[in-house]
Structure 1
Amino acid sequence: MSSRVRRAGLVTALVLPCSLFALQSAYAGLGGTPMTPPADASVSSRTVQPAASAASAAQGVMHSASSAASSTTASASYTVRETTLGNGTVVREYLAADGSVFGIAWRGPQMPDLSDLLGSYFPQYVAGVKDIRATRGGRGPVAVDQSSLVVHSGGHMGAFNGQAWLPQALPAGVSGSDIQ
């Protein structure tokens, strides 16, 4: 093997992991921190206070006014961070009080890179899609509904949409239908 080939292999071995790290650091994933928006993106945030759960509300009605406040469970607020990418695709990240992403939704003319958005959950999603395709075949909308990961994705050229969330990480008073 010539020294030129060895050098090229060494450069590739050093540059490839660095370039992959650079790509991965541009985005975070589900269960992690919010993504770092690309330079051509715009970002806005809002805090949401979900309604108290029906069970908590019913429990509060059963007690006197003075004890109702102590017996009801307050719902945790969360932040919705909306990033509009340069291509027009909108990505909403749902952040728990600790800053971790418990849900993601997207819509727009281009499908976002789900490996970036789903992070460490992407292999689980791919396995779920393979199972669906093996039983149902073909193309079309996908609904991976597992105890630790839910992903709904669909659309067509020019109009894609989807949602993903971690059921175990949803704050009190929040359901999967709130991820939009």
Structure 2
Amino acid sequence: MRLAAALLCAMGMLGVVQPASAALGGAPMTTPSGASVNTTSGSAASTVARQAAQSTSSSTSSTSSTSSATYTVRETTLVNGTAVREYLSSAGTVFAVAWSGPQMPDLSALLGTYFPQYVAGVQASRANGVRGPGAVESSALVVHSGGHMGAFSGQAWLPSALPSGFSTSDIQ
């Protein structure tokens, strides 16, 4: 609990933490006052096709897919300049989030019910002498968070909720 309090305190010292009520595994965030939103669509099949095209330089490759998992990327730029990208399944559930900008978003709001798992993972890393960016990797949750004053970034995703064929390298 001390680490969670320290994390929240540190985020508070960076300035006013912008509210972001998205929750990993839940519904997308409600757009905060003054924020702007941009939405784009993606397809896991197009990700697979793009990767195949990159790996085959001289041979012709054809990808056939009868059903491709589609997803939506919803980018919200907060008033403080931080961008939060939510990756939504076709059912409208957030399966991944990414952030970048001058201030950390409220990770407890972004990670929702997974926040305690993140805090426990960071605490375990610190207890083992690991210093540096906050990284938690388990079968249920992956979070990479880091940066420095004025330039923060990170990604979080639920491995079991990723659409078939979706590449985590697309979470940016």
Structure showing greater relative contact order (alpha-carbon pairs closer than 8 Å, 6 or more residues apart) = 2
Q: State TM-score, norm by structure 1.
A: 0.73
In the alignment, is residue 102 of structure 1 matched against residue 78 of structure 2?
Answer: no
Q: Which amino acid aligns with 2:86?
A: E
Match of 1:49 in 2: 43
Structure with the higher helix share, 1 or 2 = 1
Aligned to 1:142: 134
The amino acid of 2:159's aligned partner reads P
Whether the aligned pair in 1 keeps the contact of 2:23 and 2:109 (CA below 8 Å) is yes
Conservation of the 8 A alpha-carbon contact between 2:44 and 2:167 = no
Pairs aligned (count): 141
Q: Which runs of 5+ in 1 are unaligned?
A: 1-24, 58-67
Q: Percent identity?
A: 66
- Is 1:130 the counterpart of 2:123 in the alignment? yes
- Supply the RMSD in Å over aligned alpha carbons: 2.0
Equivalents in 2 of 1:91, 1:157: separation in Å? Answer: 17
Matches of residues 18-167 of structure 1 in structure 2 within 5 Å? 27-51=21-45, 53=48, 72=65, 74-138=67-131, 140-167=132-159
- In 2, Cα distance between the equivalents of 1:49 and 1:76? 6
Post-superposition offset of 1:51? 3.0
Structure 2 unpaired stretches of 5+: 1-18, 53-62
Q: Distance in 2 between matches of 1:136 and 1:86?
A: 36
How far the C-alpha of 1:174 sits from its partner, in A, is: 0.5
C-alpha displacement at 1:75, in angstroms?
Answer: 2.4
- Computing the radius of gyration from Cα coordinates, the structure with the larger value is 1
**1:118-143 per-position Cα deviation (integer Å, ceiling 9, x unaligned):** 000000000000011111244x2121
Give the partner amino acid of 1:105: A
**Runs of 4+ more than 6 Å apart:** none
* Residue of structure 1 equivalent to 2:7: none
Aligned to 2:167: 175
